[in-house]
Amino acid sequence: MIFIIVLVIFSLDQLTKILITKNLFLYQSVPVIKNIFHITLVRNTGAAFGMFKNQLYLFIFTSIGAIVLILLDLKERRGKKLDIYSLSLAFILAGASGNLVDRIRFGCVIDFLDFRIWPVFNIADSAITIGAVLLGWKLCIR
């Protein structure tokens, strides 16, 4: 079940990025809800919120390391019932994989979800955030 979740999130992330890059030019913004939510194509060479710009190899190797550690942990949990911990790792794995593919293919991450009061982000970023919140919650309620 975990790998189906990863595959669905990863595929949704990549599909949306393909659709956005095929239909918008860089920095083009299409209002969905004017002044609240737009689809805006940007390329992020940094990490969250554009921090640490132009550190491509650092992000690639860090992502690969995180992905390997998550896969090893999930492998140990194979056969166990789906729980919040495994679900959180699945979300983080899917998001990290989606952004890693972008960094390898484009040298940056494709972002497009623009709520105007927050830096532009993507499905992979959302998955990582949801996974991190779930993981934090799980670790706090032990």
Q: What is the mean pLDDT of residues 124-141?
A: 95
pLDDT, one tens digit per residue, over 69-104 is 999 999 988 888 889 999 999 999 999 999 999 999
Distances in Å between the alpha carbon of 112 and those of 14, 15, 120, 124? 12, 12, 6, 11
Six-digit token pair at 106?
């484009």
Nearest alpha-carbon partner for 99 in 107, 109, 90: 109
pLDDT at 141 (0 to 100): 82
pTM for the full predicted model: 0.92
Residue numbers annotated as active site: 111, 125
Please, are residues 113 and 126 in contact by the beta-carbon 8 Å criterion?
Answer: yes
What average pLDDT does the chain have? 94
pLDDT at 49 (0 to 100): 64
Q: Is the pLDDT of residue 142 over 70?
A: no
